[in-house]
Structure 1
Amino acid sequence: MPNIASILKAEISRVARKEMRAETEALKKASVAHRTSIAELRRQVGALEKELRRVTKGATRAAKGPDSEDEASAGTKRRFSATRLAAHRAKLGLSAAIYGQLVGVSGQTIYHWEQGKARPRAVQLESLAAVRDLGAREIAERLAAQ
């Protein structure tokens, strides 16, 4: 004959498992819903940050209105490459100090530009473009004149 205590213990254990299963299912559903809403909120935040960057970029361009007219009249916007600067200076066989005299800056500034530690301003980019368009003879004439 089975012991009543063991039957009661087994029944209590079965009911407890059933109740725990029901509670954990509800918690799992709530967890999935929360994760879904968190993912949606993250997507919204990302989209809003992207929109903010776009608007901020547009606002800074609008604030630079008079300067942009100067750029438009000057032609295209200048780009800078440190390796191209170093290659051009090496091609001409000039020291950084002499190349700096042509551009209107110090030799140390040329080194910093070539190493990527600094970037030239817009006016200096125009000077670099002007020097880049010069030939070896024209550079020699400019150096002799200085």
Structure 2
Amino acid sequence: MPNISQIFKSEISRVARKEVRQEIEGLRKASTHHRSVIAGLRREVAELQKQLQRLTRTSGKSPSQQVQEEDAAQHVARRFSPTRLASHRAKLGLSAALYGQLVGVSGQTIFHWEQGKARPRAAQLEALAAIRGIGKRDAEKRLEQAA
């Protein structure tokens, strides 16, 4: 009579090999799929790099210069005048700190802008332009909402 433990061991080994084979087959398929996707992405990157080289050759400018020029073209040129800022703040009857809350800067920054010691950045110029057309009531409402 055969040894039962030997039969169990051989049966367990057979079932384990079968399950492992099934798991490995799924992993192989996934690995093949991922490799093909990666190869496609590499081809796409290579094509985009070729296009970039062609564009830089035709324009004679580096890609970073082209991006900076595109960004500059998208932004509207805003002028800044310290006296206009001071007169608008006085028209609204606000302190530099409250006016700064409307713009999103400190009161000290508003003071420096009005004195001509500093100039607002592009984003701050946009914020100034946004509140340029508001009146006293709108300014008070916005300050109440911010508080």
Aligned partner of 1:112 in structure 2 is: 112
RMSD: 2.2
Letter in 2 for 1:107: G
Among candidates 45, 67, 71, match of residue 67 of structure 1: 71
Residues 57-102 of structure 1: CA deviation (Å, up to 9, x unaligned) = xx9975622312421xxxx410000011011111111000000000
Runs of 4+ in 1 over 3 A off after TM superposition: 59-63
Q: Does the CA contact (< 8 Å) of 2:103 and 2:128 recur in 1? A: yes
Letter in 2 for 1:140: E
Q: Give the 3 Å change call, closer, same or farther, for CA 80–61 of structure 1 in structure 2.
A: farther
Superposition pairs of residues 58-137 of structure 1, within 5 angstroms: 64-71=68-75, 76-137=76-137
**Cα separation, 2, equivalents of 1:64 and 1:87:** 34
| TM-score where L is the length of structure 2 | 0.53
Structure 2 spans left out of the alignment, 5+ residues? 1-61
| TM-score where L is the length of structure 1 | 0.53
Superposition pairs of residues 49-64 of structure 1, within 5 angstroms: 64=68
- Answer with 1 or 2: which has the greater Rg: 1
Residues 10-38 of structure 1: CA deviation (Å, up to 9, x unaligned) = xxxxxxxxxxxxxxxxxxxxxxxxxxxxx
Letter in 2 for 1:87: S
**Cα separation, 1, equivalents of 2:112 and 2:66:** 31
Identity %: 63
**Cα separation, 2, equivalents of 1:143 and 1:118:** 25
